[in-house]
Chains A and B, each alone.
Chain A
Amino acid sequence: MRPDTEAALADIVKSAKGPLAIQGGGTRGLSPQGDVLSVAGLSGITLYEPGALTMVAQAGTPISEIEAALAAENQRLAFEPMDHRAVLGTQGDPTLGGVISANVSGPRRIQGGSARDYALGVRFVDGTGTAVKNGGRVMKNVTGYDLVKLMCGAFGTLGVLTEVSLKVLPSPETQGTLMLRGLDDVAGVRAMSAAMGSPYEITGAAHCAKIMEGGSVTALRIEGFETSVAYRMDQLKDLLKGFNVDMNVADATMSDWIWKSVRDATLLADVPEDIWRVSCKPSDAPALMARSGAVGWYFDWAGGLIWVRMPAGGDLRAALGAFDGHATLVRASEATRAVVPTFHPEAPGVAKISAGLRARFDPRGILNPGLMGPVAREIA
C-alpha cells in the first residue's frame, strides 16, 4: 500500500483489518509484522523560507532531496541524520518521516541537538485513522502539548507521520578536525570533556581505540568562518597540550569524510558481529565497555554514544547491568532478535505511561505492533 495523500493514508489505516508495518525508505532495518504501509508516496517540499530558517515537507520526501534544496541556499539539517544503509546493508532512500520517527541524529547532536530539537510541527494519522496536527512552522511555540516530540522517536507506533516542519540552519563556511593520537579510552574521554567544556564550540567529539588498525584516534571538529576555525583550532591545541600526544589537523575535505564515517558507523559495516548502540553518561563510557564483553567499540558524542561490536547473540544489556542510559540492538540475526528486544526495557512506571499512550493513540494495536513494547488492545 502506497497512498499519495494524507486522506488516502487515513482511509487505509481506518479500514485496516490487521497490523500495519509503517515504512519510509525502509533503510533503518526495522521490520515489524504486518502489511507494509509505505509513506513514500507522500513526497515533496511544500514550503522553504531560507530567511526564516524553516522548511515544511511531506513525510515521504527523500532526505537527499531535502539536503539538495538546503545546499542550494547554503543551509543544512544541523542534526546531521545518520544514513543506516552502510551498516545495515539496506537499499532505498531514507525519508524525512523515517528520520523523524526514529529521531535519527549524528555527531553534531552533542552540540546542536537531535532531530527532535529541530522538528517544529507534524501532521500524522493515528491508529483510528484520524488526521492530527501539532506544533507549526515557527521556531518558538508552546501552544498546547508538544506532541511533535512525542511523535519524534515513536517509530510510528503512535501515528503515521504525513508532514513535518523543520528548523534548518546555515552551513558553516568551513570545518576542521583536530586529531589526537594514542590516547586510551579514559584519557580520550577526558580530552573530549576538556574540549566540550571550552568555549570553542566543538561540534563533533569521537574517539576510537579498539576498532581501527594503527592505534587510537580522538577527533574534535570545529565549524565556522575560516578565520574563526583557525583561531579556535590553535586555542584547542593549546588547551589539550597537557595530554602530551601527537596532534594534527584534518582539513575540510578530510574532516567531512571523518564525520560522515563516524555518523554512519561505516567502520562497522563489514564486521561479522552484532551491533549495538549505547546512550550513556559520557564519563561512564570507558568503564561500561570494560565490562561489556564486546569485541570493539568507538565513542561519539564525547563518550555519550557508544557503537559496540558484540559477539553474535550476546546480550549487552545483561553484561552492563544497571547504568544511567540505555542500549539499543541495531543489527543482529533473526534468531538473536527473537530473544533480545530492540529497545531497552522501560522501568515499570514509565512502561505504564508508554502503554497508556499507545492504547490511546492506537487502540487496536495495529501500528508497528510490538516494536516499542507490548501491544495495546482495545478494551471491550
Chain B
Amino acid sequence: MEMPIPAPAVLARKDRVVARLQAVLPSDAVIQDPAETRAYECDALTAYRCPPMVAVLPASTQEVSEILRICHEEGVPVVPRGSGTSLAGGALPTADCVILGVARMNDVLDTDYDNRTIKVQTGRTNLSVTGAVEENGFFYAPDPSSQLACAIAGNIAMNSGGAHCLKYGVTTNNLMGVTMVMMDGEIVELGGAHMDAAGLDLLGLICGSEGQLGVVTEATLRILPKPEGARPVLMGFDSAEIAGACVADIIKAGVLPVAIEFMDKMLIEVCEDFAKADYPMCEALLIVEVEGSEAEINDQLALITEIARRHNPVALRESASADESARIWAGRKAAFSAIGRISDYMCLDGTIPVSELPYVLRRIGEMSEQYGLRVGNVFHAGDGNMHPLICYDANKPGDLEICEEFGAEVLKLCVEVGGCLTGEHGVGIEKRDLMTHQYAPADLEAQMAVKDVFDPQWLLNPAKVFPLAVSETRRALDVAAE
C-alpha cells in the first residue's frame, strides 16, 4: 500500500512545531522521541507501519483546538486516532504528521435518563459507555467486536456497526450531537440532546468521514433501555443457499431478530476446535437471536424454528438457559481469535444484497482454489455484511501481496453484485485504491468537494479514503503553498 512521500519542508519544521505544541500542552502530552512515537506507528492493520513525526495527547476540546490551529498555521498533516483499533489503517501515520490521540479524553460529561442520552468525551471506549449506564438498566447499542478497546471517536469516524445493528442501527443512527474542532481550530457544535439536528445533516456527514473533516471531541449518544431478555437459536444447514433462503423467510415472516449470524464450514471447524461450542459439522450455520420477555422470546423462537424446519436443518438447537446461550455465542465471538491461532489472516468487510449470498460464497470458494489461500466466512446475514477471513503466511515472501489481491477481487465482486467495499470497517488505506470500482469520477469528486469545504488544505488524515492519484492535486495544494 503506497503512502505519500513525507514533505521535506514539514520535516524541517519539526523543532518549531514541537516547541509551539509544548507551549500550549503539558510536557507529557507531546511525544517526539522516535523511541516513543513508535507506539503510534500502526493501528490494527499491522502490516503497515510508520512512526509519526510527533504524537500529541490533548485532554480537552480547547487543547485540541490549539493543536489544530498550530498545525494549520504550520501546514502539518494531522492524523486523528481513537484507540488505534482500525482494521483499515484509518489511523496509520505518515512520517511528516502529528498523531492526535484522544485517549486522555474519556470522561462522562452528562447522563440524562429522562431524555435517554449520554454525553461523553470521545476517547471513552465503546463498552465503557454502556458501563456508565447499565446499572440503571440502559445500554449503548452499537457493538463492534473491538468494543472493549475501541473509542467512540473512532466509532464516529468509521460509523462502526456490530452484530446487533440489524435492530438497533449503526453509530450514525445513535449519534445525536457532537462538539467538533475544525482544522483551523474553530470549535463547532452540531445537534445535541434534541432529536433532529437543524439545517443540513452535518452530523450524518461527519459520521463515517474517517477523521478527514474535523476532530470530534465530545459526543451526545442515544442510550436505550435494556431488553428484558435475549436468547439465541442455532441452526445448521446443508448449503449456504438453504441458509440464505431460511434467513429471507424469517425476515418475510415479520420477525426482526436482533442478530442473524452466519458461519461456513471452515470457520465452524476452526471455532469448534478453539471454543468447544458444540457446533454441528455442516456447510452453513446460523445463530439467530431474539429479545423480549420470556414468553415473547418463546413465541418468536417457536415461529423461527418452525420456519427453519421447513428448510430441513441438519441441526436445530434452541437455547434453554443462559449457559447454553453463552455457549452458542462462544464459537462465533471467538471466530477471529480462533482463526488467528492457526494462521495470519486478513479480514474483509464487503456488504452484498442478502439474495446474492450463495453466488458470492461459491465465487469466493473458487477464488480460494485459484489463489491457493484458505478462506473462512462469517457474515452478518440479516444485513448482508460479510467478513471473509483470508489466511496467509506473513513470513512467506509474497504471500501478503497474494492475499491482498485475492481480497481486492472479493471486494470487487461485492460491488459487482450490487453491494459495497466496506460495511463497517471503513476505507482507510486498505480499500482506498478500490474506490474507483464503486464510484465514478463525479461521485468521488462530490465527496472530495465536501472535504474541500471542511479542510481546504487537505491536512486532516489526507492520505486515506480516496485513491492517492485521485486526491493528489488537492493534497499538493499545501506543499505548493510553501
Contact = CB atoms under 8 A, between A and B. Distances in A.
A138 B442 contact: no
Nearest to B298: A227
Contact of A138 (B186, B196, B226, B420): B420
B293 A149 contact: no
A145 to B, nearest CB: 4
Nearest to A152: B201
A149 B248 contact: no
A371 B345 CA distance: 52
Contact of B252 (A50, A140, A153, A304): A50
A146 B351 contact: no
A133 interface: yes
Given A147-B447, A354-B200, A74 B418 contact: no
A208 to B, nearest CB: 19
A117 B207 contact: no
A271 to B, nearest CB: 24
A71 interface: no
B4 interface: no
A192 to B, nearest CB: 10
B193 to A, nearest CB: 4
B443 interface: yes
Nearest to B136: A197
A235 B215 CA distance: 44
B158 interface: yes
Nearest to A327: B198
Nearest to A202: B225
A311 interface: no
Interface in A60-114: 73-74, 103, 105, 109-110, 113-114
A112 to B, nearest CB: 9
A326 interface: yes
Contacts of A172: 254
B228 A52 contact: no
A275 B334 CA distance: 55
Interface in A341-364: 343-344, 346-347, 349-350, 353-354, 356-357, 359-361
A305 B114 CA distance: 15
B299 A140 contact: no
A227 B384 CA distance: 31
A305 B182 contact: no
Interface string B252-263: 111110000000
Interface in A34-57: 49-54
B343 interface: no
B161 interface: yes
Given A132-B442, A141-B423, A150 B115 contact: no
Contact of A231 (B198, B209, B293): B293
A346 B445 CA distance: 27
Contacts of B170: 140, 142
A144 B226 contact: no
Nearest to A134: B443
A147 B205 contact: yes
Given A134-B446, A301-B195, A150 B200 contact: yes
A280 interface: yes
How large, as a class, is the contact surface on chain B? 35 or more
B94 interface: no
Given A139-B384, A170-B256, A354-B200, A133 B443 contact: yes
B453 A357 contact: yes
A61 B158 CA distance: 32
Contact of B173 (A117, A173, A281): A117
A261 interface: no
Nearest to A228: B296
Contacts of B351: 138-141
A71 B117 CA distance: 34
A198 interface: yes
Contact of B450 (A116, A170, A360): A360
Q: Which of A73, A137, A344, A372 has the most CB of B within 10 A?
A: A137
Interface string B192-226: 11111011111111011100000000000000011
Interface string B420-461: 111111110001000100111011111101111110000000
A249 interface: no
B454 A353 contact: yes
B352 interface: yes
A257 interface: no
A203 interface: no
Nearest to A124: B446
A169 B4 CA distance: 45
B194 A304 contact: yes
A337 to B, nearest CB: 18
B463 to A, nearest CB: 15
Contacts of A126: 446
Given A146-B172, A170-B256, 14 more contacts: A49-B354, A137-B418, A139-B383, A140-B385, A142-B427, A143-B431, A143-B439, A150-B202, A150-B450, A193-B115, A197-B113, A197-B138, A231-B296, A279-B194
24 contacts: A54-B353, A74-B254, A116-B201, A130-B442, A134-B443, A138-B351, A140-B165, A140-B380, A141-B423, A142-B158, A143-B435, A145-B209, A146-B205, A147-B205, A169-B256, A197-B113, A198-B225, A225-B300, A304-B195, A324-B193, A343-B198, A346-B199, A353-B453, A372-B199
Which 7 A-B residue pairs are closest in the complex by CB-CB distance? A149-B204, A51-B248, A140-B423, A326-B198, A356-B453, A325-B194, A170-B254
